[in-house]
Amino acid sequence: MTASPASDAAAELLTELIGNGVRDLVLSPGSRSQAIALAAMELSRSGALRVHVRIDERVAGFTALGIARETGLPVPVVCTSGTAAANLLPATMEAFHSGVPLLLLTADRPPELRGVGANQATVQPGLFGAFVRMAVDAEVPSADAGDATVWSGLASHAIEASLGIAGNGIPGVSGPVHLNLPARDPLSAAGSVSAAPGPAPARVAAAPLVLERGPRTIVIAGADAGADAEALSHAGSWPLIAEIVSGARFGRLVVHGYRELLRDESLGGRVERAVIFGHPTLSREVAALLARTDVDVVAVRRGGEELNLNGRTRPADAMSVADGPADRQWLGAWMNASAAAVVDLSAPAPDQEGLSSADKNARLGAVRAELEAVRKRVDRQLLADAVWRATWPHDRLVFGSSRLVRVADQVLGGKKVPVHSNRGLAGIDGTIATAIGIALASQAAGAAGVTRVLLGDLAFLHDVGALLLPEGEARPRIQVIVGNDGGGTIFDGLEVAASAPAEDLDRAFYTPQSVGLRELAAAYGWEFTQVATRSALDQALTSPAAGPQIIEVPLER
């Protein structure tokens, strides 16, 4: 077979990526990207690379996003030219705003075939605009130009930019990078490629901003905050307001019912300093606090935009607490109010005395109460509570941007569970694909655990293509739990519900649907269960999961 500079350059690029910490690659099929695809498949056979194939580039982008979310490592997603590249934009935008390292490897036509009407050729350089930390329109591999080295160095620079290492991208902040890779025919040739896995380049630890103890302080943990928020709260003896998607809702200082307490003038009204981790998005009360000019807001940057709602927010790379006594009166006021706001959704304990009573009526009453508890229909609060209770530190929990995440944020208590969500832009795009990526990464090398994703019916239907899992690839242990109320009832709580004509509200916003999820599950080869009671839901969530499952929970409007 004719030698292929494209194949040699692709082998060089992937070898360098693997040597710099890349372990997973997501691939969508296409002709123009064949050199990269064939090199990736050979590296997959040798065990140097885990390759995940998805026919839909939008699904591929979010699958890569999910893997990168879980691992913290850059994940390449490879596609052919044309509209294929454009389908990566939603995942790229989410990665930018969430601070997730994503590598976009888009195959392209050579310069002489651009702008002349060539098939499947468009304007790919600069396609992702401000949403990438670095964009390179690479040279065309050529035997005359040193075919094996023309893309040399691209991988290491791209990884440094995606991880926010000094000299590329935004220092200390991860994000997406675009490598546009043009090539001429022949696009592939027989050959061999091997790679030695190496570590990802390490960031230099930033000097922390030392926070004095004086001001009345609260710690706010938004999406992707992680354990750092709880650690600072504990060190400063400051109340912790942790969104359910933060991964920081644990520890003894978590505040329950925080929305109401922030509206309380004796608590929220007296805040002098707010320390922010992650991206808070779930409550207007937090947004209103962060917009106050009388509050000193200090924020650890996570994504591509700095948090600065009040125009005077101070950025920080890391934070620590100065020595000194804690403000026990301030903390105590919050903790007392929090204890009174705890929501207990536990079923009442069985009436053992009544069940064993010699009095027939008392015994029948106790039995009736037990049957009612078993048959109790699931509502949104009970659904969120059941999923939370079934999930443990070795599991993963993913929240979709549906009404359910707000319900969960209001009622769930503290628990140290790894939580993910696409809250960078709070869209419903790619929720299932992201969760599958998280499941694949967290269960690699035989690790235990189940990934559960809780979402509404519209978010589920928006990403139904992600249910297609290729033959021969790992089928992760994942439970997609769909709260199905037949449409977008999240709009019930928005201004439009009070102003729009009922017919317009129903058609343009609620978008009612009656899709058969059982039939969808069967078509894609997923196990399916529909449950309506709390006892049946608990059983479905805790039964051994051998592969992908859909659990449908009908909900009332």
- CA-wise closest residue to 428 among 488, 338, 378, 469: 488
Same domain, 282 and 419: no
Q: Give the model confidence (pLDDT) of 203-220 as tens digits.
A: 888 889 999 999 999 999
Q: Does residue 225 share a domain with residue 164?
A: no
Q: pTM to 2 decimals?
A: 0.94
Same domain for 448 and 527, yes or no, is yes
> What order of strands is seen across the sheet that includes strand 102-108?
50-53, 24-27, 75-79, 102-108, 176-182, 134-137
SS3 321: strand
What is the band of 21 on the pLDDT scale with cuts at 50, 70, 90?
A: very high
Mean pLDDT (the chain) is: 93
Q: Are residues 419 and 532 in the same domain?
A: yes
Q: For residue 426, what pLDDT band results from cuts at 50, 70 and 90?
A: very high
* pLDDT tens track for 214-249: 999 999 999 999 999 999 999 999 999 999 999 999
- Tens digits of per-residue pLDDT, 290-312? 999 999 999 998 898 999 999 99
Domain count, the chain: 3
Residue 460 lies in a domain: yes
Per-residue pLDDT tens over the stretch 144-178: 754 557 899 999 999 999 999 967 778 889 999 99
Which of 290, 319, 340 terminates a domain? The answer is 340
Give CA angle at 220 (388, 453), nearest 5°: 25
At 209, is the secondary structure helix, strand, or coil?
strand
Q: Measured between alpha carbons, how far is 400 from 245 in angstroms, rounded to an integer?
A: 10
Question: What φ, ψ does residue 293 adopt, rounded to 5°?
Answer: -80, -15
Q: What separation in angstroms does the CA of 127 have from each of 210, 459, 546?
A: 41, 26, 40
Distances (CA, A) of 15 to 8, 20, 73, 156, 197: 11, 9, 16, 11, 8
Looking at residue 40, which CATH number applies to its domain? 3.40.50.970
Q: What are the tens digits of pLDDT across the range 28-73?
A: 999 999 999 999 999 999 999 999 999 999 999 999 999 999 999 9
Alpha-carbon dihedral sign for residues 511, 384, 268, 416: negative
In a domain, 349, yes or no: no
Q: What is the pLDDT of residues 445-502, one digit of tens each?
A: 889 999 999 999 999 999 999 999 999 998 999 999 999 998 877 777 777 777 888 8
Claim to verify: residue 178 and residue 213 sit in the same structural domain? no
In a domain, 129, yes or no: yes
18 falls within a domain: yes
Q: How confident is the model at residue 540 (pLDDT cuts 50, 70, 90)?
A: very high
Binned at pLDDT 50, 70 and 90, residue 125 comes out as: very high
In a domain, 356, yes or no: no
**Position 418 in a domain:** yes
Q: By residue range, what is the domain housing residue 9? A: 5-182
Domain boundary among 340, 370, 397: 340
Q: How confident is the model at residue 2 (pLDDT cuts 50, 70, 90)?
A: low
Residue 273 sits at φ, ψ, to 5 deg, of: -145, 135
* Domain end point (choices 287, 311, 340): 340
Q: Which CATH number do you get for residue 253?
A: 3.40.50.1220
Same domain? 217 vs 148: no
Q: What gap in Å lies between CA 59 and CA 289, rounded to an integer?
A: 36
End-to-end Cα spacing for the chain: 63
Residues 178 and 217 reside in one and the same domain: no
Residue 36 lies inside a defined structural domain of this protein: yes
Share of the chain above pLDDT 70, in %: 98
Closest by CA position to 65, among listed 450, 547, 478, 429: 429
pLDDT of residue 148: 55
pLDDT of residue 1: 44
Q: Are residues 11 and 120 in the same domain?
A: yes
- Rounded-to-integer distance, Cα 151 and Cα 142, Å: 11
pLDDT (mean) for 99-125: 92
- Residue 347 resides in a domain: no
Are residues 461 and 326 both part of a single domain? no
Residue 254 DSSP label: B
**Residues 172, 215: one domain?**
no
Residues 317-333 have a mean pLDDT of 96
pLDDT of residue 192: 86
Sole residue written with tokens 């808070």: 280
Asked whether residue 150 falls in the same domain as residue 237, the answer is no
Residue 490 pLDDT: 74
Q: Are residues 315 and 394 in the same domain?
A: no
